[in-house]
Amino acid sequence: MSVYFYGCVTLDGYLAARDHGLDWLHQTGGTEETGYAAFYARMDVTLMGRRTFREIQRLGNPAEVYPTTKNYVFTHRPLEQEGFTAVEGDPAEFVERLGREKQIWVIGGNTILAPLLDRNLVDGMVLQFAPVLLGAGVPLFTQGEALRRFRLEEVRRYGQFAELVYGRP
């Protein structure tokens, strides 16, 4: 099993605006300018929270966005979306039950990422930085994570985005 975070943040470290919107990201550029397609092609599973899922729904049909992966949404509410399964509980325990052969992408949400980091389950992070300062919003990290070290493996530029690829030391 390999677990990755792949996502874009603002220069001041936010995944989303206060309202969980991503307009700042869409106005900066699209995924065609990044290595997204190659990354997604390697993934078997996506994990996301309800708010991230809602933002994906806002953009269109989520099943078209993530057609080849098994997609899980952590939520306490029913979920009626083809290709997506609602799950509850501890994200780290859930990931451990998925199986060793899976390539898992944590799409968004520090409430999912933090427990995985705390249990040392994250194998890599692909962080893209957009040249945007929000000043407030949803941070990538909860600021309560335990000390973890990663090794810088690559630095790339995609249009206005800077991408840092980190792996385990």
pLDDT, one tens digit per residue, over 93-134 is: 999 999 779 999 999 778 899 999 999 999 999 999 999 999
Listed ranges 31-40, 59-68, 149-158; the one with the highest mean pLDDT: 149-158
What pLDDT score was predicted for residue 109?
Answer: 76
* Pairwise CA distance, residues 153 & 146, whole Å: 22
Q: Which residues of 96-130 are buried (b: 16+ CB within 10 A; e: fewer)?
A: eebeeeebbbbbbbbebbbbbbebebbbbbbbbbb
* Pairwise CA distance, residues 2 & 121, whole Å: 8
Considering the domain boundaries, does residue 80 fall inside one?
A: yes
Measuring CA to CA, how many Å separate 9 from each of 131, 133, 140, 157?
9, 10, 7, 14
Considering the domain boundaries, does residue 42 fall inside one?
A: yes
pLDDT, one tens digit per residue, over 8-36 is: 999 999 998 998 888 888 787 766 667 88
Structural domain that includes position 41: 2-138
Tell me, what CATH number does 91's domain have?
3.40.430.10
Considering the domain boundaries, does residue 157 fall inside one?
A: no
Model pTM? 0.90
Considering the domain boundaries, does residue 159 fall inside one?
A: no
Mean per-residue pLDDT for 30-49? 87
Mean per-residue pLDDT for 47-63? 88
CB-count exposure of residue 32 (10 Å: 0-12, 13-18, 19+): exposed
Considering the domain boundaries, does residue 75 fall inside one?
A: yes
Considering the domain boundaries, does residue 41 fall inside one?
A: yes
Considering the domain boundaries, does residue 132 fall inside one?
A: yes
Considering the domain boundaries, does residue 122 fall inside one?
A: yes
Q: How many domains does the chain have?
A: 1
